[in-house]
Every structure is written in structure tokens, then in C-alpha cells.
Chain A
Amino acid sequence: MLAGTVAFMALSVLSFAQPTFPENGVADPRHGYYAFTNATLVKDASTTITNATLVIKDGRIVSAGQALPVPPGAVEVNCKGKYLYPSFIDIYADYGINQPQRPAGAGQFNFQQQPQLESAAKGPYGWNQAIKSDADAFRVFIVDDAKAKPLREAGFGAVLTHIRDGVARGTGAVVSLANEKENLVIIKDRASAHYSFNKGTSGQSYPGSMMGYIALLRQTYLDAQWYKNKPPKEGFNLSLKAWNETQDLPQVFEANDKWNDLRADRIGDEFGVQYIIKGGQNEYQRIKDMKESNATFILPLNFPLAQDVEDPNDAQFVSLSDMKHWEMAPANTAAFEKAGIPFCLTTADLRSVNQFWSSLRKAMEYGLSESKAMEALTKTPAVTLGIYDKVGSLEPGKLANFLITNGPIFNEKTIILQNWVQGMKYTVKEDAASVAGTYALTVNGPAGKEDYTLDVKNASTITMFAKDTVNAKFSFDGKQVKITYAPATKRQRGGAAMPGDSTRRMGGPGGFNRGGGQMEQPLPATATRLNGMDNGTEWNGTGTDSLGNPLTWTATLVKLAEPKMDSAVKKPVPDVGKVIYPFQPFGWNETQQPKQETILIKNATVWTNEKEGVLQNADVLIKNGKIAAVGKNLSDPSARIIDGTGKHVTPGIIDEHSHIAAASINEGAQSVTSEVRITDNLNPDDVNIYRQLSGGVTTSHILHGSANVIGGQTQLIKLRWGANAEDLKFKGSAGFIKFALGENVKRSAFTGGNNRYPDTRMGVEQVLVDAFTRAKDYQREWNEYNAVKEKLVKEKKSTASLVPPRRDLELDALVEILEKKRFITCHSYVQSEINAAMEVANKMGYTVNTFTHILEGYKVADKMLKHGSYASTFSDWWAYKMEVEDAIPYNAAIMQKVGLTVAINSDDAEMARRLNQEAAKIVKYGGVTEEEALKMVTLNPAKMLHVDDKVGSLKPGKDGDVVLWSDHPLSIYAKSLYTIVDGTIYFDRAKDDQMQKEVDAERLRLVRKMNGEKRSGAPTTPAQPSYQLMHTCSEHGHSHGLLVIDADDISND
């Protein structure tokens, strides 16, 4: 420190003056004109200049370069041995914003409390309270030095801050972390626009699901576009106006999770917006998809703690995926770097900013490189926000936001000494380490001069000797020096223990010895005490000797210690196992990915579902993902042969009514939500996909729930375990939509008194009539518009003055029904409502494609046949609610005999894996033939889903969706041995046993690793059972075990 000058350079305590503000006193204009010389200057992540000079003035960088002269008028600060870096930028901070808090329970839509159906916001806002596009962070931003200080100490100089409230959150502002007036600190007022899948303080019920969030955003994009034409009917809509005004800013979406990242990105793709995505910790689980999003990510560094899994009874309920995630999450940023995806780092989500460095170091230990870390903290955020002209590197014209460190910044031992923000110095830590060296100490006491040599190791360790070593203590805080010393005892000097020595007594005979080093010996009360100041070239001070006499003293630097290089050998990146797809037990890693094969099943009983019926001792050849041949004595030299002797082959089972593999199922906050789409929120991580493969299911129709009359659009999927959401979809399948009637839509199970229309079956019918009446008007409006437009185009006239009608996603879906481009599957039970639904359909000119559940279908089967409906029902469910009082297990058989095409569905993740047995019950109750019964879970659902040209029977050319059963497929003793989708074996019972062993071994490894973490003293968190959220039709009465929580029982938010 004696040689350095950084520490004692005068600190400006004054701000730069603002011209418009009157001065109370005498003006003191300063320019903060400094030249930092002899530094190692890291201009940006890829450029380092040695022996550099950085000149700043008026809060900005004037020049930066090698060995530049110190300009006249500038104060020189010698930075020999120091490093200069651009200060970091956090573009996901909430600094200086008083974040609104959501009242407990607000905005939930469930069976326990009355929903708030309309916006409670007062003012000229849009219809949905969660769209707060008019909010501006800069209007509410207040400098808060208590919050700024830890950020500055972590190395940050500027942040992007915004109000974290709502689905649309308005604009964010870039502010510096200087402790100055807001006027000077706000670097860019409107720097970004923000969005999320979280309605925040909005108490409005809608959106009540992930699908609803997506639909709300999509509709708002459309509405805002439409609003540009100033539609008189809408009046003044501040929310849409502000939305439009902020579209040119960088658009930031808080998604926080790998699937949500992709959901957000898809919204952006639809409306020509490339979001900057605030991610979570789990993107490494789908890094290819992240790359394909083309987004820049903002990544947090909050890694899960090890769980305390010492008690095996606790460990048992911690899932493999949670433990694996604990192990792999710190490698998330490294995965982004490896994949070449641009990203910024943020302190957001950390429990405290103080954890930033330990978390960053962890990320680096797990493979994040130094240069990428630097880039992610400086250039990338600046470029992403379009403020690289102001911050992000050390170049002339930019803000003087820089760090001074005593070594390369990412070295373990390096300390950030100062963080200069807008040309203002903020000391982070005194450079106590650079005190190290040899000093000549002269003490002037009453007895004359005594000379000592001080060998200072660091700010708290010293060896002091004259002829002999003296017992001394030392401390240095950057300015003040304290030395206390006393002559050492003989033992200390010689190192030989004396008889009666205290160390011996403590340990007893053969007791422990505290090692061979010098003992830390308490100093006697009579020790000599020296106190002084660091004066730059020497230390001067006063003191008291052992007799109480006053002293003065001086210490002069003889030689600075050679700075110690960071000797820590770079640890190898820890082995964190492999990513598995999906990130669930029984997922496969990249080397195990199931592949399409040529498969020949020989000598089996083959249920073709074609006119050939059931073939004995027959073969099935699957090639290129399709059924290639069915018959006797087939051969194919390239095929994998599976012996089917004594076994049965059937087409893959198709579940017409399922709620697996989705992030949300019910958007019940309105009675008509045809705008929401299951496809927007598929969840490929649902282990029930694998479980249902084990029961021979290959295709599932994922339906919206039954919370409202017109629910959401459905998605047909194939159970391609491990695929992403896009690849789960059954390509080329027709669009469907869920309708529902009866008790659920009138909220009969709701204990708080229903306030959502309808409350009776009378009202249900009117909701349908009203929706389709509106849809027809809407259809006509568009038809008229299109006709006029077409005419103008034909006549080569301008269409500029033609204002298109408002696009309404809700009505779009209903028009698709009217145009026979979308088909209905309608949850229904009792004969009155079935007839009413058909009557409305007949009047409005559409058909109810499928009545699902339809447990009283047997009462009106003739009418359903006449209407042209299909029926999808349960085998033997009844008496779980009033409207199934008359449900009978003969229902399916009666409907089938009347001539309807009947399917048996599951609506239940457990029963779905026994659908073959459910079909068998239709033989038991009602006496249909076994072939007809099997069709009820294969060909018949294919027909009603309009995919019977692709699946449902074993016919050459159809998809290779096949099950090999151990026994008669309608028997309770039958198990799927192979479940094949598109010629790919996704379930193999023999392999499943092996995978179970691997799951158990991996669990054991991770439990041991977590226990090791605990024993090593690392913080742990109590074991948290891995609860699973399950979505259902809202039928209740299901119980799926200890760890499953029905989504209906909690907030749908």
C-alpha cells in the first residue's frame, strides 16, 4: 500500500452539479478528471491492454489506451499491479422499485372462492387487469443506496429495472448504481418492455391457466394492432395505446423455465417479436430447443441446495429429477456457452445479492469460461438493450463505470477494490493484501531507539524480529496500523517444550500437539502497543511500552513482497451425469435414443381391426414407421425379429379423453374460452406418458377440462417419450375443441356460491346459443370485409381506407366449427342436456362430433345417431356425482348396438394404462364381441378423431403403432411387452426392468452425493417430497397417491 496510491487518493464526496438546481452556498464545480495509469485494462471480454491509462472526466471515459500521457489538469492515480474492468450490468434487477405485493388468495380460480370476473382497475385501461403495459419504471424509480451498495460491491454499475407486476409490465429503465439524484442516475428512461406468465397483483380470474396467459397475450397483440385504426367503439384504451408505443423497445419476457421459455418464444414468433427471455435454471435440459429459439437469455444463478436426505424415509420421496437437477443446474450457463446461445447473467432469483460471486464461481467451476462470464456481465446485456454506446466496455464516450481489482477478476483471491460509477468512486474493499513486504521499524522510546524488521505477510499477519523473533500481533485496515508485541519466551524461540509447559498439560501424556508451527501465544498485558497511520511512503505513529512510557515510531518500506499469483490449480469440471430426455426417470440419454426400426413380429395372434379379423399364427412387418405387411410367412432381412408365439398383436391403444402431458388443463375463468389451446402448453416431462406406453397406449387426445361450457382447443399427441412439445403432436390431425355441459360448468361442486354464468342447464344452453350467434355475426362481418377487399383488389383500387374487423380468437375457433374445420368433443352426461346440445347444433348448423363421458347416451342413442355424433364413454363409472346417478356399464354396448361408433376413454392417468381391460368390460356388460370391444379403444377413437386413415388398425400403409401383448389383449393378465409408435419401440418391458435398476442406482449415487455435501458442511435444505401436480377434468373423486395434488384443489394461477 505504501507504494500504491489508489487507496489514499482523495475521494470526491461531492456530486456533479445539475445546472437547473440552485446551489445553497458557494458553487464547487468539479469534473472528476482522473487518469488511471500503469493498469492492466480489460476493455472488453476479448481485449486486454497492459500498461494502460484510463482517463475519465465528468463521469465519462475520455480515453483508454496503452501508456497514454496524463493530460494536464487530470489527477493521476497509479494503478500499478491493478486491473480495470467495465462494471457489470444486470438487466433483470428490481432495484429502486417498490414491488407491488399480491394480496393472499387474489386472482385464484378454484372451487373454494368466488372469482373476480372483471378488472378492478379504475381508469381508461383495457379489459384485463394483468395487462399493465402503461406502467413505466422510471416514473416510480427511487435511488436506494442500501440496495445499490451490495450490487456495487458485487461489481455492478448499471441495471435495468422494471415493475415486476402483471402479464404486460410496461417499460423498464436503465439506471446506474451511483448514489446520486434520480435525474443523473437514470441512463435510459424507456429501455425495454416486459412480459410474464404471472398476473401478479391482478385479482381478476382470467387468465387462470398457462393456456389463458398465452391466449391473453395473443389476443392483446391482435387488439393492439386493431386499435391502431382508432376504432370508435373502443374509445380511449390506455393499455393498448401504451402497448403499441412500447413495441419498438427490446421486449423482455420472464419465463423462468425451459418449457415456458419456448412457450414465450412461440408467441413472439407469431407476432414478429424476438423476446429476450429471462430463463430459469433448467434450460440445459432442452438446450437444442433453446438454441432454436434464437433468443438471447437472461440467466439467474440460484442453484438448488442439496437436500438433507440422510433419513432414507425422507430421501425416498425426493425424486430423481429433483436430485439430478440439483447436480446439473450449476452447469446451466456452461450449457448455453457450449451451445453458442447468447446470454446475460442476473442477480435476480438469488436469495441475496451477496451470493452472486459464490454462485458465479460455482457456474464457472461447472464450465462457464471467464471470457463468457465477462461478456455475459458487460457487453451482452449492453448490446441486448442497445446501450452499448453507454456501458459495457471501457471506451471513450461511455460512462465511467469501471472496477479496480488487485488481480484478474475471476481469480479466487482477487478483490474488487473500487467500483467507479458515473465517475464516482465507491470503495468496495481496501487493498489490505498489498501491504505485504519487508519494513524497517524504528521505535523511539525513553531508552532510545530500537530497530526491528517487520515481515508483513498480509493485513493481519506479521513476523517481527530484531536479533530474536518477537511475539507480535498486527492489523492494517488500509489506513490505520496496529502492532502489539512482547519479547518471546524461550520455548517459542527454541521450539523445545519446557517442563510444565501448558501445551503438554492440555493434551496430557501422548496428547495432541498442535503442530510444528509457531504457536499463537496470548500477549501479556504488558505488551508494547503501537498505533499509527499509513502515510503513503512510510508509517508513523505513537505507542506505549511495557512500563507505560510514551513512544513514537516509524516504519519504512524496504521491499514489497512479490505479489502471489493465484496458485489454485483449476479444478476439473465436475462430472454431473447426462441430460436425459425427458428429464425424468426412464428418460433416455442421447446415446440411448429410441430409433425407428424395421420390426417383424412373427407367429402371433394378430387383431387387425380390418375385414381379415383376428389372424392366427400371423406376422406383422413394420418398416419406415409404417405397417408394411400383415400376413403369414413374412420376411425382411433387415428386420429385428420379435417372436410372437403365444402372444397377441393389436393396434396401439388410442385414448379419446386424456389430461396428461399438459401444464394446464382448465381455463375456467370464463364460460367461453375457445381461444385457449392445450397445444400451447404441452408438457413432455409428464411421466404418465411412459406409464401409459406401458399399458399399450400410443395416441392420446389431450382435452381441455370441463370447467366451462366452451373450453379450449385440444391436442392429439403420440406418446413419443422424450420428444419435445412440437414432436409430441400427432401431425396432420384435425383440430378439436372441448365443450362441457352440466354440473361442472354450472359449478355445482363450488362451495362458495356460484357467481359465474351459467348456474343451470337452462343457462348452459343459452351460453351455446349466444356464442354461436356471436360467431355467425362475426363470420358475416369478416365475409363482408373480405368481399369488399376482394372487389377493390380486383378493381385495382386502394384498400388502404378499409379497416378490418377486430380479430377475436374466441370467435375464430367457433367459426372454424361452423366451417367444419374444427370438431367438438362435448363432456356430457344426462339426456336433457345431450338433446339440448344437439338442438342448438342443428339450429346453428354444426354437428357435435363426439359426446364424451356421455353416460346417459344409452337413453338418447337413436337421436345421437341421427345427429351424426360419435360416443366416447367410460365402461363402468357411476354415482360419483348427481348427473351420473343413472350411468350404467351397459351404456357402451347399447349405443354400439343402436349403431353409434363408440369409444372407451380414460380421463384418468391410471386407468389409461388399462384401457384394454376397460374395453373387456363391454363384453362382460352388454355382450359385444371381443373384436368390437377392442375397436372401442383403437379403431373407433381413431374414427371419431378423424385419424382412422393413419391409425387404429393393422393395415399396410398406416402408422406403425403396434402393441405386442403377453396374453389375450382383453384379459387382465395381458401386459404390453412392446409398445411401438411409428416403428419406434418406446416401451420394452424387458428393458424397463433394466431401466428401473438404473434409476435405483442413479438415485443411490445422488443420495450419497447429497449426503457427502451435507457432511462437508455445505448448507442443505430439509428434504422436500417431490409432489406432482395432476390435472383432471374436474371430476374429483380420483386419488392418485401421496404426492399427487389435484390442480383443482389449488389456485389455477
Chain B
Amino acid sequence: MRNILLTIAAAVTISASAQETVLPAKPQTGTMYITNAIIHVGNGKVIENGTIKVKDGKIEEVGANIQVPAGATVTDVKGKHVYPGLILPTSTLGLNEIGAVRASQDYRELGDMNPNVRALVAYNTDSKVINTLRSNGILLANVVPQGNFVAGASSVVQLDAWNWEDAAYKTDAGMHVYFPTLMPRPNFGRFGGGGGAGGPQAPQTDPVKEGLDKIEGLKIFMREAKAYNALSTHEESNLKFEAVKGLFNKSQKFYVHANTAKQILAALDFVKEFGFDMVIVGGSESYQVADLLKKHNVSVILQQPHSLPTMADDDVDQPYKNAAALQKAGVLFAISDDDGQTRGRNLPFNAGTAAAYGLSKEDALAAITLNPAKIMGVADKTGSIEPGKDANIVVSDGDILDMRTSNVTDAFIQGRKIDLTDKHKLLNERFEQKYDLKPAKKGF
């Protein structure tokens, strides 16, 4: 990191409030070796003192006994930990610059039925947030629209690009539905349990029924879309039907944003009737139906393990333990970080917490690498350090899942060594100069 910082020192003196000088890296050509690495493959395996051979952006070989020819391009990582590029599985990255500034937000369209809306086209590769994620090892993200109900299509992007077309890693790969809560609404004025003023009162309307009706409406839409898409020509085109075509041939995943068992049970209809590849996003209560999820091959993205338990009655560490429960049941799951204050940079630490509460460290790593790659349909290209995949690789001084040891020193996207400068490092440099401070040293 020091070297990188020195090379951009000139830039620092010009402008520290921006990262205009951080350029996307050029395509990697030829052969390159990363040596002396503790390789965390992403699939549970660890190779001590390993070497990775990269050619034209792809991983060609991985192992402990790879010969490095003299004169080859080598990055000797000297016993550091090497990981697959981390993947942020749900994010408004590039769609939301400043949380409270409406003008900077492009993630939520009007209306209930927006299957035709595409997050990718609003993805801003110049968002200042992107580079802060790369600094913690996150090299890919699923850019997801939000909405009232059917919110639109997500795309997977790689985080080193000139524009969204360059960034696209898998386009329109997911269709996102935000399920109604299927839960009675709160009685305002009565909180905290234990019987303050007044008691529970019957809700005015039945939100469960309203919600189920809404879901039923989506099923009707899907039936009509299926019939429509079975025909090759139409008198009148329907953009919304066409937008969900990929769900029926499984080229598109069906993401249901839901938390409760009731919501998840209602969502199973879409697997049973339409055969969709379904992913539950959120899943705070998914541990309660883990066996059913396994049975129906439904995967889960745990949105934010750094959360409070749903109920006061729950295990105080329940959100930390959800991942281990899903792992135990054999459910394919990923961990995400959608914290609005830190903007996804703590993804590895959310996984680290899962490791502290029952997952093995390598399984926790898989939850932010290979598992999300599988869920998002990009496991053929990324998610693990295995031959044939893109060389999306992160190097850290120590355990990347623990903030105490995580320090990302190098990162490669498609074999391209990317610039790990970010706005925060630049501002740090600027003010270290103001106060004549010695540059920051690591504490270990």
C-alpha cells in the first residue's frame, strides 16, 4: 500500500477531495505469477505457500508446487493471505451516492410493477463509494434496484471500470421482488411490551390477506408472461412480460426480498409453479425454515448479520448465528452488508462475525465469494481461485475477516492490478501533511 500511495503522491497534492486520478487498470496480458501466498481458494480449501499463475486475465494454475520461470512477472506476497475477490451480493452501489440526498439516488422507481427497470443503466462507475469497497477486498457487486413490489433487474458488476457497460459482469441477471410483510401493522402509541397504556387491538384491515392478494396478483402476471413469452411474435408488445422471460429459462434468478417464515412459505409457490431459481434476500428468520429451503433448492442472501435480533425474546446473537444454521441445513447462502452508514465496506467483517458464531472461517469466506457467485450465476467466472476463472484476487496482510488483521495490499480484477487508492486515503494523506504526521503505520 505504501508503494501505491507514493506513486500517487503527486495526485494528492493536486486534489484530495476526489479520486479523478485513480484510473481503471488496463487489461492484463501475458503471464503473471502471485507467489508465496496462503491461498484461501474460496471453496473451503487453503493452500499454504502457494502460487497462482494468471494468463490474459484468467487463472491458469493454482497450487503449492508451480514452477515460476525465470524472468516472469511475479508478485511475491511474502506469506500474506490471498483470497478470491469478495462479492457484495446485494447493494445500491453506484445508484446511491449520499444517503440523505435525493438528487444522488437512483435505486427506487415509482410504482409497484417495474420488472422492466434495469439497475445497470444507472450504475455510476465514478461513485466515490466504490473504491472504499475495493480497499477492503470487495471486487464485485450485485447492483440491485429497490421498490415497493417488483423492483426490476439487478446486474453483477466488477468494480474497476470506465462506465457501466465496461463494468457489467452479468447483465440483468436477477429479478427483484420485495414481498409484503404479511404481518399486522403496529399499533402506534403502544410499544415496548409488558403492557403500557392500552392493549393490543385488532387491526383495521387484514394486511396478511392484502399481502397474499398482492402476491397472487404477481402469480397471475407470471402466468400471462409465460404464455406471452411462449409466442415468438405479438400483436402488441409488453415490455414487462418480456423483462421476465429469463426467469422461465433460468437465465435470470428470482430474488424475493423477505424475512419471515410466512413470507418464505408464500414465495415457495414461485418455485413450485414456475420452477424459478429463487433466492431469498434478507432472511432474518430463514433459519426457521432452513430444511424447507434446502428441500426446494432455494438459496439465501443474509442481508446484514450485524443486526439486532428481531424479537427481544430471541437469542441476543441470533443474527450472528443465522449463517451457521443455514450451513448446517445445507442451504446455499451468501452474506451481504447493506449498512447505510458504512456502505458495504464491512462485508468481510459480517462474514467474520458469522465465523465467530459457528461457521468455519473458510465457510464464512465462501459466503462472500463462491456462494454469492453461485447464487448470482457467475460461479463459472469468479468466486474462487481455480483455473479457468477470472483472476479476481485480493491480498491481505492477515485474516481478511477480522478487522484486527485485515489490511488489503493488492487486488486484481480480471488479472488487472487495480489502484487501491480511495477518497479516504487521499484525504488522510492530505491532512497527515497538514499536521506533519508520520504516515499511518499498521499496529501489528
Of the candidates A305, A928, A1041, the one whose C-beta lies within 8 Å of that of B309 is: A1041
Cross-chain pairs A/B with CB under 8 angstroms, 21 sampled: A256-B197, A257-B196, A280-B195, A282-B196, A302-B199, A304-B195, A316-B311, A317-B311, A349-B198, A879-B97, A881-B101, A882-B98, A882-B101, A898-B435, A1026-B193, A1026-B311, A1027-B187, A1028-B312, A1036-B100, A1037-B340, A1038-B341
Q: Is the CB of A321 within 8 A of B312?
A: yes
Q: Is the CB of B100 within 8 A of A584?
A: no
Q: Mask for B263-299, Cβ within 8 A of A = 1, else 0?
A: 0010000000000000000001100100000000000
Which residues of the other chain, A, contact B311 by a CB distance below 8 angstroms?
316-317, 319, 1026, 1043
Which residues of the other chain, A, contact B144 by a CB distance below 8 angstroms?
none
Complex Cα distance A584/B192, Å? Answer: 9
Closest chain-B Cβ to A977's Cβ sits at a distance in Å of 13
Which residues of the other chain, B, contact A888 by a CB distance below 8 angstroms?
423-424, 427-428
- Counting CB contacts under 8 A, is A679 at the interface? no
Interface hit among A172-180, A589-597, A857-865: A857-865
Q: Is the CB of A880 within 8 A of B443?
A: no
Complex Cα distance A690/B260, Å? Answer: 24
Of the candidates A690, A879, A927, A972, the one whose C-beta lies within 8 Å of that of B99 is: A879
- Chain A residue nearest to B439 (CB atoms) is A927
Q: Is the CB of A1040 within 8 A of B308?
A: yes
Chain A interface residue count, Cβ-Cβ cutoff 8 angstroms: 110
Complex Cα distance A685/B192, Å? Answer: 8
List the 4 shortest-distance A-B pairs measured between CB atoms, nearest first: A1037-B340, A1024-B200, A321-B193, A1029-B191
Which residues of the other chain, B, contact A319 by a CB distance below 8 angstroms?
193, 311-313
Which residues of the other chain, A, contact B403 by a CB distance below 8 angstroms?
917, 920-921, 924, 970, 972
Q: Is the CB of B194 within 8 A of A321?
A: yes
Q: Is the CB of A910 within 8 A of B183?
A: no
Q: Is the CB of A1022 within 8 A of B203?
A: yes
Q: What 15 additional pairs, Cβ within 8 angstroms, besides A316-B260, A585-B312?
A: A282-B196, A302-B199, A858-B428, A862-B435, A882-B98, A897-B437, A910-B308, A914-B306, A925-B424, A973-B355, A1025-B183, A1028-B312, A1038-B340, A1040-B307, A1041-B307
- Chain A residue nearest to B402 (CB atoms) is A972
- Counting CB contacts under 8 A, is A687 at the interface? yes
Q: Is the CB of B312 within 8 A of A859?
A: no
Complex Cα distance A571/B195, Å? Answer: 26
Q: Is the CB of A999 within 8 A of B313?
A: yes
Which residues of the other chain, A, contact B313 by a CB distance below 8 angstroms?
319-320, 585, 999, 1003
Interface hit among A154-162, A265-273, A870-878: A870-878
Of the candidates A876, A908, A1042, the one whose C-beta lies within 8 Å of that of B260 is: A1042
Complex Cα distance A876/B317, Å? Answer: 23
- Counting CB contacts under 8 A, is A767 at the interface? no
Q: Is the CB of B435 within 8 A of A923?
A: no
Q: Mask for A506-520, Cβ within 8 A of B = 1, else 0?
A: 000000000000000
Complex Cα distance A329/B345, Å? Answer: 47
State the majority secondary structure of interface residues on A.
Answer: loop
Complex Cα distance A885/B132, Å? Answer: 13
Of the candidates A877, A882, A1021, the one whose C-beta lies within 8 Å of that of B100 is: A882
Q: Mask for A543-554, Cβ within 8 A of B = 1, else 0?
A: 000000000000
Closest chain-B Cβ to A88's Cβ sits at a distance in Å of 24
- Counting CB contacts under 8 A, is A812 at the interface? no
Interface hit among B45-53, B155-163, B222-230, B346-354: B346-354
- Counting CB contacts under 8 A, is B406 at the interface? yes
Complex Cα distance A179/B385, Å? Answer: 90
Closest chain-A Cβ to B190's Cβ sits at a distance in Å of 8
Which residues of the other chain, B, contact A890 by a CB distance below 8 angstroms?
424-425, 427-428, 431, 440
Q: Is the CB of B312 within 8 A of A584?
A: yes
Closest chain-B Cβ to A514's Cβ sits at a distance in Å of 38
Which residues of the other chain, B, contact A748 by a CB distance below 8 angstroms?
100
Q: Is the CB of A858 within 8 A of B431?
A: yes
Closest chain-B Cβ to A1001's Cβ sits at a distance in Å of 12
Closest chain-B Cβ to A335's Cβ sits at a distance in Å of 13
Q: Is the CB of B187 within 8 A of A1024?
A: yes
Complex Cα distance A749/B128, Å? Answer: 22
- Counting CB contacts under 8 A, is B153 at the interface? no
Q: Is the CB of A924 within 8 A of B343?
A: no
Which residues of the other chain, B, contact A889 by a CB distance below 8 angstroms?
424
- Counting CB contacts under 8 A, is B215 at the interface? no
Which residues of the other chain, A, contact B304 by a CB distance below 8 angstroms?
1039
Q: Mask for A1014-1036, Cβ within 8 A of B = 1, else 0?
A: 00000001111111110000011
Closest chain-B Cβ to A299's Cβ sits at a distance in Å of 13
Chain B interface residue count, Cβ-Cβ cutoff 8 angstroms: 80
Of the candidates A885, A923, A1024, the one whose C-beta lies within 8 Å of that of B404 is: A923
Q: Is the CB of B202 within 8 A of A1022?
A: yes
Which residues of the other chain, B, contact A281 by a CB distance below 8 angstroms?
195, 199
Q: Is the CB of B440 within 8 A of A893?
A: yes
- Chain A residue nearest to B182 (CB atoms) is A313
List B residues at the A interface (Cβ < 8 Å).
17, 97-101, 128-129, 132, 181, 183-184, 186-188, 191-203, 259-262, 265, 284-285, 288, 304, 306-313, 315-317, 340-343, 345-346, 349, 352-353, 355-356, 401-407, 423-425, 427-428, 431-432, 435, 437, 440-444
Q: Is the CB of B99 within 8 A of A325?
A: no
Tally of A-B residue pairs with Cβ under 8 A?
265
Q: Mask for A305-338, Cβ within 8 A of B = 1, else 0?
A: 1010000010011011110111001000000000
Q: Is the CB of A1037 within 8 A of B312?
A: no
Complex Cα distance A908/B340, Å? Answer: 12
- Counting CB contacts under 8 A, is A909 at the interface? yes
Q: Is the CB of A894 within 8 A of B435?
A: yes
Q: Is the CB of B261 within 8 A of A877?
A: no
Q: Mask for A914-935, Cβ within 8 A of B = 1, else 0?
A: 1001001101111111100100
Q: Is the CB of A685 within 8 A of B406?
A: no
Q: Is the CB of B404 within 8 A of A320?
A: no
Which residues of the other chain, B, contact A304 by a CB distance below 8 angstroms?
195, 199-200
- Counting CB contacts under 8 A, is A201 at the interface? no
Q: Is the CB of A878 within 8 A of B340?
A: no
- Chain A residue nearest to B206 (CB atoms) is A1022
Q: Is the CB of A1021 within 8 A of B202?
A: yes
Complex Cα distance A188/B402, Å? Answer: 73
Complex Cα distance A365/B309, Å? Answer: 37
Complex Cα distance A316/B100, Å? Answer: 34
Of the candidates A303, A999, A1024, the one whose C-beta lies within 8 Å of that of B184 is: A1024
Of the candidates A688, A876, A927, the one whose C-beta lies within 8 Å of that of B345 is: A876
Closest chain-B Cβ to A684's Cβ sits at a distance in Å of 11
Which residues of the other chain, A, contact B193 by a CB distance below 8 angstroms?
319-322, 325, 583-584, 685, 1026, 1028
Q: Is the CB of A920 within 8 A of B342?
A: no
Q: Is the CB of A923 within 8 A of B443?
A: yes
Complex Cα distance A647/B404, Å? Answer: 17
Closest chain-A Cβ to B410's Cβ sits at a distance in Å of 16
Complex Cα distance A325/B198, Å? Answer: 12
Q: Is the CB of B306 within 8 A of A877?
A: no
Asked whether A1044 and B308 contact (CB < 8 A) given A304-B199, A927-B442, A1028-B192, the answer is: yes
- Chain B residue nearest to A1047 (CB atoms) is B191
Tell me the chain A residues, 324-356 only, with Cβ under 8 Å from chain B: 324-326, 329, 349
Asked whether A880 and B349 contact (CB < 8 A) given A894-B431, A924-B404, A1050-B188, the answer is: no
Asked whether A280 and B197 contact (CB < 8 A) given A888-B428, A972-B401, the answer is: yes
Tell me the chain A residues, 662-686 only, with Cβ under 8 Å from chain B: 683, 685-686
Complex Cα distance A343/B343, Å? Answer: 55
- Chain A residue nearest to B128 (CB atoms) is A879
Complex Cα distance A319/B442, Å? Answer: 46
Asked whether A322 and B440 contact (CB < 8 A) given A886-B427, A1041-B308, the answer is: no
Closest chain-A Cβ to B102's Cβ sits at a distance in Å of 9
Complex Cα distance A748/B401, Å? Answer: 37
Q: Mask for A271-314, Cβ within 8 A of B = 1, else 0?
A: 00000000011100100000000000000001111010000010
Closest chain-B Cβ to A295's Cβ sits at a distance in Å of 18
Complex Cα distance A75/B99, Å? Answer: 84
- Counting CB contacts under 8 A, is A1045 at the interface? yes
